[in-house]
Structure 1
């Protein structure tokens, strides 16, 4: 006997009456009290920053989960500002909601962006930013007690060494919703942890100027301070000697922290459920998946550079850097801007074998399970294109750090072009076989070169004479397809006569032909 349709699916009544769980990130969207909204997002402080900067046109950027309170916040903020200041709401972001959408803000000629909710804190290039995080409550005493007891760094555990590996410093990372109590957390941890161990924390500036000196209100330079101040934060090379305390729930920030600091011991505390745990194991598995993705990128010959941001400083120099190293490696590259990523969009580019995503650190590491082609970060691409890749598990996501390291390695890369010009086969760890890589462009990395391949586009002059042939993997892929689109019948079919179509809505068109047909029926 076959089971009925409800055996493998829920009934309609159950779906309608099923309670919906609200994510913790959207707790601020449930508030409707003006006084509570003022305190939760620090609206009076944001208004003071707007008036201090003399910004006349203000853009308010909200993520999707905070759109229900966008209009109440708009009205409250207007009461704290002078009447001559114009305020706009940016309801839809072009890319990730954690990044500042400078493109949408410039559509309304905004002088400043007030970013609400969670943020990745990546520096902007054109517009100043005022951050308005939600102030979520946290039990500091319980947080400090849970972390020190779990890690063995508390003063009561005198018989227990600070750490099995002898690491004697603590670095505190936290979700931005707990930034308002960061100094209290650091002071409480320093008081609970004995003397030889020092506690460092990264403070957040709520009013950040752009990196480039393009805005008249913010004449910043390349040495401008990023959103995270460096007065209490150790250098990146020294972070491996720290124990990391993370305050917050499951998020992309925590996942990236584990992957980018695999040598550190990470302990997390979630203020929502008041629980602390040791973050182990996940970083090793994630690094193994990233290493497999790097090997797939090493076998690719056609790359697509995905533009995942238009507001982060140094994203244009990074894209130029990616084009340069791909041309040096005799690879073909296409630059694509698709907005928010999904498998359906990238599936349209079947001829591309690997994608390189240029996005903020929180949106750079993409799970490749649902996508047809692998997606790597700029650092992983440089690792894949190196003649002898040696990866120790280090992963860099910061644009500025990648460019600075590339500038230091530039003298060594100038003599590496000969290694890509040989025709020796390379062994693939993914297929277990030797493969001959395709070569695109000339020895100097140019994309234009005379070639006789079948996948080249022919460029002709006005007289119809054969000129230069441009290498195109897309044209080569098109020629190999069984279906190449609709048949072109030039000068064979006469064009039809233009006539007025139907007008109105589908249930009742207003043209006479439709009315006469309905009358006959």
Structure 2
């Protein structure tokens, strides 16, 4: 449970109880959700239709926060319900359905850039004892010449200024990251996953200290910076800075297996995991191009948040390629019937020019032309056969390059926001019959279903209900 810093001084236990019960005073509510800042931001831009997005753990405060804002602004606001994809991403799609001017996003943010609407980010403010953390740093790194890179979860951004001020006196080679939402200094010479910082030497010469809990944020940073030693300090669990041990060998073995599955597959399903992150459509086009070059078929599938039941509807697809934000890309697919891979595995499997390394790229934008991890594929003749021996079954597999697609299917901009604020969701089909299928969820059918009186249901247990007298014979 997140711990927040408020203007009212309360104990850790008391704060936790208040958050669990959603019982906050008006003063605490204004402080935690920065009501004055939200009002000022809306009024400065003369916005009239604004959506508020809350993660699940803060949704209990949504009504009170909205009431406070509406009282200051004098007009109604909209609360976004269940997100189209992950709560760490701004749900611009839902906001555009009502023609919103902007979005205020509360809680954790994955720092993926957006492209459609102005967004104000209000981060959680988790509690941290700055004095205790600084003391722990000086005990752990006794040598002032140590090169330290300080990374942190966005929930601790509010305390970084005080931490930096105290640590800079002890460590002249300290590098502290800034977030995508901050004003970036031109002197910053390194950027990773929405964080920028200035370093004086090679990155692998630095000791990395991460402030925050274990989870997707920390895992993605570790995969993007493989040569550094990581330390973690989670104020909710740790009393001191601890070594963070990550089983890189196991992780790489799993990724190598998935790479082989991509090579082995004849049919790939490009799973749309975001309609918000900038350049997602270019990433889809990139996967389609790589697949076509080696004779594989591709199908674009948009199902919102993926789960086992949804993806089981596509048994013809052998491997799904998830195009999503970095923190949502590494999806554990062990429970799924088909494996789910990232764009990085596709590059390693289908691009002969891409070389395997310790770094695992989770930000698909860097794999596109112009990105720091982009590698152009080797030009090849129009007609050729691709063969390889699978490390999974030991057999020789051959793929014939497919014929060019019609012009209208060359680009994946079909899955995007239309002018009427609806989302197109085509399933491009070339022989699998996907275009003839349809699925519907729970429909209200208002005015179509005859109203019926309530009737008593079954009583007893499934082995023998009370009306099943024949079981007594």
TM-score of the superposed pair, with normalisation by structure 1? 0.70
> Quick one: distance in 1 between partners of 2:116 and 2:289?
25
Paired with 1:179 and 1:239, the residues of 2 have a C-alpha distance of: 22
- Contact kept in structure 2, 1:132 and 1:206, CA below 8 Å: no
2:66 to 74, 85, 94: 74
Correspondence for 1:301: 266
**Partner residue of 2:399?**
438
Q: Are 1:176 and 2:141 counterparts? A: no
The yes-or-no answer on 1:504 pairing with 2:452 is yes
Q: Is residue 115–residue 129 contact of structure 1 (8 Å, CA) maintained in 2?
A: yes
Q: What does residue 279 of structure 2 align with?
A: 314
Please state if 1:191 is matched with 2:169. Answer: yes
TM-aligned CA deviation for residue 131 of structure 1: 0.6
Q: 5+ unaligned residues in a row in structure 1: which ranges?
A: 1-23, 156-161, 163-167, 209-224, 449-469, 479-483, 485-499, 509-521
C-alpha separation in 2, matches of 1:447 and 1:407: 31
Contact 2:321/2:341 (<8 A) preserved: yes
Measured in 1, the distance between the counterparts of 2:257 and 2:99 equals 44
Kept after mapping to 1: 8 A contact 2:366/2:374: no
Q: Which residue of 1 aligns with 2:217?
A: 253
The within-5 A match list for 1:155-304 is 155=144, 168-193=146-171, 195=172, 197-205=173-181, 228=194, 230=196, 232-233=197-198, 238-275=202-239, 276-304=241-269
Q: Which residue of 2 aligns with 1:421?
A: 384
Note the residue ranges of structure 2 that are not aligned, 5 or more in a row: 1-15, 185-190, 408-427, 438-447, 457-473
* Offset, 1:28: 7.3
Distance 1:265 1:247 in 2: 14
SS in 2 for 1:146: helix
Partner of 1:330: 295
Residue 377 in structure 1 maps to residue 325 in structure 2: no
Q: 2:48 aligns with which of 49, 53, 56?
A: 56
Q: What CA deviation, in whole Å up to 9, does each residue of 1:6-57 have, x standing for no partner?
A: xxxxxxxxxxxxxxxxxx8x94773422211111121211211111222111
- Compared CA separation, residues 206 and 263, structure 1 to 2 (3 A): closer
The CA distance in 2 between the partners of 1:501 and 1:446, in whole Å, is 45
Rounded to whole Å, the distance in 1 between the matches of 2:259 and 2:279 is 24
The question of whether the paired residues in 1 share the 8 Å contact of 2:177 and 2:195 is answered with no
The reply on whether 1:41 has 2:4 as its aligned counterpart is no
State the Cα distance separating 1:350 from its structure 2 match.
0.8
| Contact 1:303/1:356 (8 A) holds in 2 | yes
Q: Which string of whole-angstrom CA distances, capped at 9 and with x for unpartnered residues, describes residues 197-249 of structure 1?
A: 232322452799xxxxxxxxxxxxxxxx999464x3459x9533432111011
Flag the 1:287–1:187 CA change in 2: closer, same or farther, 3 A.
farther
- How far did 1:93 drift? 0.7
1:262-307 Cα deviation digits (max 9, x unpaired): 2111111001134321112333422332222122212111000000
Cα separation, 2, equivalents of 1:447 and 1:149: 64
Q: 1:58 to 1:28 in 2, by over 3 A?
A: farther
Secondary structure of 1:178's partner? helix
- Indicate if the aligned counterparts of 1:297 and 1:354 stay in contact, CA closer than 8 A: yes
Alignment partner of 1:138 is 2:95: no
Partner-residue secondary structure (3-state), 1:438: strand
How far residue 404 of structure 1 moved from its aligned partner, in angstroms, is 3.2
The structure 2 residue matched to 1:100, chosen from 69, 75, 90, is 90
Provide Cα deviations, 1:427-454, integer angstroms capped at 9, x if missing partner. Answer: 11122x1222333522xx4379xxxxxx
Number of paired residues? 403
Matched-pair contact (CA < 8 Å) for 1:383–1:389: yes
Partners of 1:50 and 1:293 in 2: CA distance: 46
Is the deviation greater in 378-387 or in 356-365?
378-387
Show the 5 A alignment for 1:344-363. Answer: 344-363=309-328
Q: Do the aligned partners of residues 413 and 394 (structure 1) sit closer, same or farther apart at CA in structure 2, a change above 3 Å counting?
A: same
- Offset of 1:409 from its aligned partner? 6.0
For the residues of structure 2 that align with 1:303 and 1:434, how far apart are their CA atoms? 20
1:146 and 1:407 map into 2 onto residues whose CA distance is 35
Q: CA deviation at 1:88?
A: 0.7
Aligned 1:477-488 pairs, distance under 5 A: none
Q: Aligned partners of 1:297, 1:472: CA distance in 2, in Å?
A: 20
Describe the shift of the 1:439–1:473 C-alpha distance in structure 2 as closer, same or farther (beyond 3 A): farther
Contact 2:269 2:298 in 1 (8 A): yes
Compared with structure 1, are the counterparts of its residues 322 and 344 closer, same or farther at alpha carbon in structure 2 (3 Å cutoff)?
same
Q: Aligned to 1:205, what secondary structure does the other structure show?
A: coil
Aligned residue number for residue 487 of structure 1:
none
Cα distance change on mapping 1:136 and 1:28 into 2, 3 Å:
farther
Structure showing greater radius of gyration is 1
Q: 1:341 to 1:475 in 2, by over 3 A?
A: closer
Q: C-alpha distance in 1, partners of 2:157/2:108?
A: 11
2:363 to 377, 390, 398: 398
Moved more, 88-97 or 279-288: 279-288
